[in-house]
A and B are shown apart, each in its own frame.
Chain A
Amino acid sequence: MDKRVVITGMGIYSCIGTNLAEVTKSLFEGKSGIVVDPERISFGYKSPLTGMVPAPDLKKVLSRRQRISMGEESEYAYMATMEALKNSGIDMAYFEHNEVGILFGNDSVSKAVIEATDIAREKKDTQLIGSGAIFKSMNSTVTMNLATILGLKGINMSISAACASGSHAIGLGYMFIKQGLQDIIICGGAQEINPYAMASFDGLGVFATDIEHPQKASRPFDSGRTGLVPSGGAAAIILESYESAVKRGAPIIAEVLGYGFSSNGGHISTPNVEGPSIAMRRALEQANIQAGQVEYINAHATSTPLGDANEAKAILEVFGKNPYVSSTKSMTGHECWMAGASEIVYSTLMLQNGFIAPNINLESPDDDVKELNLVSTTIKKEFDIYLSNSFGFGGTNSAIVVKRFK
């Protein structure tokens, strides 16, 4: 028999706050985390806009050996994970006698790869790259490092699915637990923030250009948009079987009801309507609910014209005009590999605290999206069920349905 899958802890390290309390406040107030990164100007970026997070100081909490294998995405993921574990009531001793897994979305380690290659090019001697580089320069670096630091003995792998990586990680964690294969899995997403990581993306000319007004630059669904704004950090959630949560006396925050997925089978970067529609319908089927029961949709909407318009069409096709819709990327920018996980954290914080965070900078919605019930200023409202969309290059789509725990 299928197990119920619940969320018992969350952690966040993002450009709108480095813990749940800060992020809740930012979401409620509609605060943007977008800044101008001067390093990107000298690097030749068309757009120096980005979300930015402070570098965590891990010297006092992790050994040299542990730190030397960690790139910035792993550091952010460590911060988010420790907050999530604490909130879930899990300490280090728990891992000694209980099997806990880890699934994180991550799809690049650009800085680590480039820095290691630069050393080899200069020195002509690979040994001078140092011992930590190999562990930093694989896409699985986050799960590799965290599983080692925490001593995890369950499922241990990373999911690379472009900007849907974090969402698929949670979806797969849900499936593992639902099928009774694991009791607890740390799920999440992480995203590096540095000029190396986003240079080739910037080169496509799809990043926002309103440098004079960084906090107004990310404008999903708005006709005045000039493109997306990259961002990063990490988010973690503790997924757990209902039985395990009850046995531990863990705080049950919400229940994951469904995970829908699909692939567009089309262009590598141009999205369509059909693929996201299939993912959303499948999530509803999994959740065994009607479309009308979904009260809020956290849209993938990245602030690009065709992506926003096609998602709007897909939402209208599946849900009609009723559910509230906002894209928290208007505040955070596009957190890419992390976004699918962070947006579950953001939406669950709204669920917990009885409000719907705004799609800021929505001043003149596009004609294509006008029929959506878009939220441009914070709405105080208790709600029970939300759906979170995440789509990525290659046409990968993921949709997660989460319900208030009753």
Chain B
Amino acid sequence: MSNTDIKQKINDILIEEFEVDEEVIQPGAPLKESLDLDSLDYVDLVVLIESNFGVKLGEADFSGMTTFQDFYNVIETKIAAK
């Protein structure tokens, strides 16, 4: 799966799960604020990524993460390392 495909799949998942409009998701936009995430939502993000890509995000992965691009990067790296 190419990084473009991964990015598109992530966007599709987020739009479906968090019920946001497509234009909300921009690479430079802040992930937390754009999706209105609370602490419980991060648990569901971990579940979604694991069930769709087979990789598990840990607490450390979220610590430096601000934008959607950061989110894509972490997942792409983990998939590449599988």
Q: Which residues of A contact B (CB under 8 A)?
A: 63-65, 68, 123, 125, 127-132
B22: A residues at CB distance < 8 A: none
Least CB distance from A125 to B in Å reads: 7
The reply to whether the CB of B41 lies closer than 8 angstroms to some CB of chain A is yes
B18: A residues at CB distance < 8 A: 64
Least CB distance from B25 to A in Å reads: 15
Least CB distance from A85 to B in Å reads: 25
The reply to whether the CB of B61 lies closer than 8 angstroms to some CB of chain A is no
A65: B residues at CB distance < 8 A: 38, 40-41
The reply to whether the CB of B56 lies closer than 8 angstroms to some CB of chain A is yes
On whether A64 and B50 interact (CB within 8 A), knowing A125-B56, A131-B40, A131-B44, the answer reads no
Complex Cα spacing A68 to B19, Å: 12
On whether A130 and B38 interact (CB within 8 A), knowing A64-B17, A125-B56, the answer reads no
The 8 Å CB contact of A68, one of B44, B46, B50, is B44
Given A64-B19, A65-B41, A131-B40, 5 other A-B residues pairs in contact with their CB atoms under 8 A: A64-B18, A68-B44, A123-B50, A127-B46, A131-B43
B46: A residues at CB distance < 8 A: 127-128
Interface size class of B (residues with CB under 8 A): 10 to 19
A127: B residues at CB distance < 8 A: 43, 46-47
List the 8 closest A-B pairs by CB distance, nearest first: A131-B40, A131-B43, A130-B47, A131-B44, A64-B19, A128-B47, A130-B44, A128-B50
B43: A residues at CB distance < 8 A: 127, 130-131
Least CB distance from B38 to A in Å reads: 7
Complex Cα spacing A64 to B41, Å: 10
**Binding site secondary structure of chain B:** helix
Complex Cα spacing A127 to B48, Å: 11
Complex Cα spacing A299 to B46, Å: 50
* Beta-carbon contact of A131 and B41 below 8 Å: yes
Give residues 5-29 of B contacting A (CB, 8 Å): 17-19
Complex Cα spacing A123 to B56, Å: 11
Complex Cα spacing A132 to B19, Å: 16
Least CB distance from B60 to A in Å reads: 14
A128: B residues at CB distance < 8 A: 46-47, 50-51
Least CB distance from A144 to B in Å reads: 14
- For B34-56 the 0/1 string (1 means CB < 8 A from A) is 00001011011011001100001
Complex Cα spacing A123 to B54, Å: 11
A130: B residues at CB distance < 8 A: 43-44, 47
A132: B residues at CB distance < 8 A: 40, 44
Complex Cα spacing A123 to B40, Å: 19
B44: A residues at CB distance < 8 A: 68, 130-132
- For B43-76 the 0/1 string (1 means CB < 8 A from A) is 1101100110000100000000000000000000
Jot down 13 A-B pairs with beta carbons below 8 A, ordered by A.
A64-B18, A64-B19, A68-B44, A125-B56, A127-B46, A128-B46, A128-B47, A128-B50, A130-B43, A130-B47, A131-B41, A131-B44, A132-B44
Complex Cα spacing A130 to B43, Å: 6
A123: B residues at CB distance < 8 A: 50
B17: A residues at CB distance < 8 A: 64
